[in-house]
Structure 1
Amino acid sequence: MGQTTITLNCDMGESYGAWKMGSDEKVMPYINMANIACGFHASDPEIMSQTIDLALKHHVKIGAHPSYPDIAGFGRRSMVFEPQQLSNLLIYQIGAIKALCESKNSELKYVKPHGALYNDMQTDHRIFEAVIDAVSCFRVPLMTLASQQDDEKLEIADRFDVPLLFEAFIDRAYLANGLLAPRTIEGSVLTHRDDILSQLKQIVDYQRVTTLDGFIIPIEADTICVHGDNDDSIQLIQEISTFLKGKSNR
């Protein structure tokens, strides 16, 4: 009997005008889900359109990757909005990429917030509800941190009838409370191949992860996030993709 397939997702389309970021063309063949920036932390209409075309070429699911309006800080700075204001900002971004998908006879499949917004919604239920409220308009799932499931979040998602996709990171360290270690902490980003593959295998084979502070916490993921912004990471993504396909074929 085969295992449940764990998909591979990656943040894509984060170039902006003449400024190029990432290696989307090299990464796209190896992933299952593309989180495409919507213009508020990176990207622009032309980049969004090109990235959608690339995803369609490789039969990759298209997700919206909205953020706080923070191009200068790449969406990594927390910002304060009233819940309805935040929902409106998200509806604006998600609606843009949904319209571009439909212009190409394709569909938006899910939403994954970016950066500080993603982190903030893990710890603040008001922000989580504002995000869910916006996503509910599009009748697609919301991707969120697997280690941060709690009864109140699940109740909010059920109330708005929004399915959740649970995500794990293999190149980011975790804290004992299940949150990602802030990038300001030494060791928060895993850079060595062996460390990344070890965390991948621990999550996939044992549904747990060893935290930066030495604890072991449970983590059951539907999808794994990878980052592909240099040649070494692209080779690693190929290995990760092969590993996951091997698990799903058992």
Structure 2
Amino acid sequence: MRIDLNADLGEAFGRWELGDDDALLDVVSSANVACGFHAGDPTVLRRTCNLAARRGVAIGAHTGYRDLAGFGRRFVDVPPTELANDVLYQLGALRQFADVAGTRVSYIKPHGALYNAIVHDERQAEAVVDAVLDFDSNLTALGLPGSAWLRLAAEAGLPVMHEVFADRAYTPEGRLVSRREPGAVLHDPVEVAERCVRMATEGEIVAIDGTVIPVRADSICVHGDTQGAVELARAVRTGLNEAGVTVAAFAMAPV
């Protein structure tokens, strides 16, 4: 068995530091790099791409709403045409820094409120798909199983990959529990590792109410801004390795 392990990285901004990108890049196989709208700036983007390239970690575009103050976790009712342009702009910025680092953008994973919105918002999901098609029709779309985003991406001919979350609780419907709810974010490395092994090997997860639900897991995410993210990622990778699951990127494009 084989699975990807990804983390949201490059989310510092100016003098504001967030997460330990250097340590996480020693653990994960894919890096979702913030593209400057919800977090990140040109210097951060370039540094993150350079670090990922040196370690052979795949780079994905972590595109979000234009919402630095809210860290991209607030829904923005942006018109589809404007949203498509915003996403295309972010993809282009990251591609330039990836090119300079000697690698390339291999996939796209929308961030935060945009990620959650395009689970069900057809208009915004279609706008993101349109941006990807204008950028690179071979770019892999990463997202939540059952989302409008992945369905529309597949219908447009884009390769798709299904993501699960190591450190987030699930509803019985297979959606993420809102961060406003207690228990939405998980911090126990042992519990998180066990959940990930179960998702990878058995294709199921226990929801917040105890319901066992099926999941399709091509890639596991550990949020870089979760407290103890490095320890969580290391525990997940160790658990997967001990269970006979190989951790490897799903979309490492040749230069």
Q: What TM-score, normalized to structure 1?
A: 0.91
Distance 1:193 1:159, change over 3 A: closer
More helix by share: 1
| 1:204 corresponds to | 200
Distance in 2 separating the partners of 1:26 and 1:169: 19
Confirm or deny: 8 A CA contact 2:189 2:235 kept in the other structure.
Answer: no
Counterpart pick for 1:165 among 154, 161, 166: 161
Tell me the CA shift for residue 190 of structure 1: 0.9
Q: RMSD of the TM alignment (CA)?
A: 1.8
1:121 aligned to 2:115? no
Distance (whole Å) between structure 1 residues aligned to residue 77 and residue 237 of structure 2: 38
Gaps of 5+ in 1: none
Q: Please give the TM-score of this superposition, normalised by the length of structure 2.
A: 0.90
TM superposition shift of 1:202: 2.1
Residue in 2 aligned with 1:78?
75
**Cα separation, 1, equivalents of 2:106 and 2:227:** 28
Counterpart of 2:234, as a letter, is: Q
**2:172–2:213: 8 Å Cα contact kept in structure 1?**
yes
Matching residue of 2:140? 141
Q: Render the CA deviation track for 1:135-157: whole Å, top value 9, x for unaligned.
A: 122230111013x257x952x22
Report the counterpart of residue 221 of structure 2 in structure 1.
Answer: 225
The SS at the match of 1:11 is strand
1:99 maps to what in 2?
A: 96
Q: Does the CA contact (< 8 Å) of 2:64 and 2:112 recur in 1?
A: yes
Instruction: Render the CA deviation track for 1:176-222: whole Å, top value 9, x for unaligned.
Output: 11110000111111112232123112212210111112222110111
Q: 1:186 aligned to 182, 201, 206, which one?
A: 182
Farther off after superposition, 84-93 or 101-110: 101-110
- The count of residues paired between Structure 1 and Structure 2 equals 243
Instruction: Return 17-26 or 222-231, whichever deviates more.
Output: 222-231
Residue by residue over 1:94-132, the C-alpha shift from the partner in whole angstroms, topping out at 9 and shown as x without a partner, is 111012112233211000110000000012122211111
Equivalent residue, structure 1, for 2:55: 58
Mapped partners of 2:83, 2:129: distance in 1: 11
Partner of 2:172: 176
Counterpart secondary structure, 1:34 = strand
How far apart are 1:238 and its partner, in Å? Answer: 1.7
SS at match of 1:57: helix
| Matched-pair contact (CA < 8 Å) for 2:25–2:51 | yes
CA distance in 2, matches of 1:232, 1:183: 17
